[in-house]
């Protein structure tokens, strides 16, 4: 995997443009609550912009912590791919080889690869974490995924499937001997210095919490957060997300390139071979009114008109997004409390970033 050298972002142009897009989208009723965006290339400091207010009424700051919702999935995927790199996991082997109780109701041949690419066929009624409040424990949510049946033959089509990430997290726990939440801190967030990004399972609100605005969204945000939902429960900041994206580009939080000085003591998330596999299309599909191409744990290409095909992208239901453009060396992190954010908002913000490449 070769990341092409990137021009820096023109912060004097980009900051006002992002603020203008936020203002226009809010005026059009496309944004609610508050949010923050950060963008960076291989050089320089991230450019950030904010809008609106938190659920508590405070003006949104870039250091406010938001629920990542489905941007949690790439974090879980990285944990799984790290296991493949160490030889502890064969992505094409049946999951039931490690979790025998999963291999029932037609799921005997479901593989880790199927789970990462949303081609497992797991029945979506197992998505208990995103349903009505039922007081279920994390173990009960996991059990629902383990007990699920199939909607279609694994590998035959794409159907976005969050329950499978409970199974992926259980693979991490069983193969490492450490709970997936602790393993995340040990192998991803800790080594990268992501001090504001973690699972928050306690009843009290997280520090610097942006929250959720509408009643239903507040319930759902609390349910997935306190369940430690490996498909949507991590809390973090836009700054940490940019650092995560830069690590995938092969750089550390200080902007030093992989191999730029012949040696780089800072840890990297995955190898170039794994990054190649992540960026390779596994399947095409249809998701919430648009066509998508999917790789290992990520959508490919993403929203916006000016990015590259080899862009790793993930969306989250609470109005969150992360772009990692492997061709141009661009990272964009968006966190909001505007659930079910219109696709055009993502596209307009991404276009503004690419339009500010110096």
Q: Is residue 5 part of a domain?
A: no
Separation CA 91–CA 107 (nearest Å): 15
Give the closest residue to 131 by CA, choosing from 200, 229, 240: 229
Q: Could you give the CA distance from residue 172 to residue 166 in angstroms, rounded to a whole number?
A: 10
225 and 286 in a single domain? The answer is: yes
Let me know: does 194 contact 187? Beta carbons within 8 Å: no
Task: Give yes or no: residues 159 and 307 share one domain.
Answer: no
Both tokens of residue 309? 């095909």
Question: How far is 64 from 163, CA to CA, in rounded Å?
Answer: 28
CA 248 from centre of chain: 13
Look at residue 214 in the predicted model and tell me its pLDDT: 61
**Count of domains in the chain?**
2
pLDDT for the residue 331: 97
- Flag residues of the chain having pLDDT under 50: 1-3, 5, 251-266
Helical H segments across 28-95, by residue range: 72-85
Note down the domain range covering 172: 75-181
The whole-number pLDDT of residue 1 equals: 43
Final residue belonging to a domain, choices 155, 181, 207: 181
CB 13 within 8 A of CB 356: yes
Same domain, 175 and 201: no
The pTM (predicted TM-score) of the whole model is 0.94
Domain harbouring 148, CATH code:
1.20.58
| Residue 48 contacts residue 22 (beta carbons within 8 Å) | no
The number of residues making up the chain comes to 358
Q: Residue written as tokens 């969204």?
A: 217
pLDDT given at position 6: 54
């Amino acid at each position: 995997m070769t990341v092409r050298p990137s021009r820096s972002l023109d912060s004097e142009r980009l900051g006002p443009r992002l603020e203008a897009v936020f203002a226009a989208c809010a005026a059009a009723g496309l944004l609610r609550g508050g949010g923050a965006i950060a963008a960076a290339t291989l050089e320089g400091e991230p450019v950030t912009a904010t809008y609106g207010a938190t659920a508590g009424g405070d003006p949104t700051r870039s250091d406010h912590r938001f629920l990542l919702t489905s941007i949690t999935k790439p974090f879980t995927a990285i944990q799984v791919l790290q296991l493949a790199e160490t030889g502890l996991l064969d992505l094409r082997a049946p999951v039931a080889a490690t979790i025998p109780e999963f291999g029932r109701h037609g799921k005997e041949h479901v593989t880790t690869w199927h789970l990462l690419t949303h081609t497992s066929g797991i029945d979506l009624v197992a998505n208990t974490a995103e349903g009505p409040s039922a007081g279920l424990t994390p173990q009960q949510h996991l059990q629902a995924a383990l007990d699920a049946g199939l909607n279609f033959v694994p590998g035959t089509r794409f159907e976005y499937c969050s329950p499978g990430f409970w199974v992926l997290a259980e693979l991490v726990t069983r193969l490492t001997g450490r709970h997936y939440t602790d393993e995340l801190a040990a192998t991803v967030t800790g080594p990268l210095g992501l001090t504001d990004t973690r699972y928050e399972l306690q009843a009290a609100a997280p520090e610097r919490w942006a929250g959720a605005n509408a009643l239903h969204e507040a319930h759902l945000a609390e349910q997935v957060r306190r369940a430690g939902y490996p498909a949507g429960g991590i809390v973090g900041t836009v700054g940490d997300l940019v650092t995560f994206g830069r690590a995938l580009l092969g750089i550390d939080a200080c902007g030093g390139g992989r191999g730029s000085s012949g040696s780089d003591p800072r840890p990297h998330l995955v190898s170039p071979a794994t990054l190649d596999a992540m960026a390779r299309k596994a399947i095409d599909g249809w998701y919430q009114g648009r066509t998508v191409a999917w790789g290992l744990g990520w959508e490919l290409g993403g929203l916006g008109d000016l990015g590259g095909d080899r862009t790793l992208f993930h969306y989250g239901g609470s109005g969150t997004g992360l772009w990692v453009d492997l061709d141009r060396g661009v990272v964009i992190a968006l966190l909001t409390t505007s659930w079910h954010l219109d696709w055009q908002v993502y596209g307009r913000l991404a276009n503004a970033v690419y339009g500010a490449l110096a």
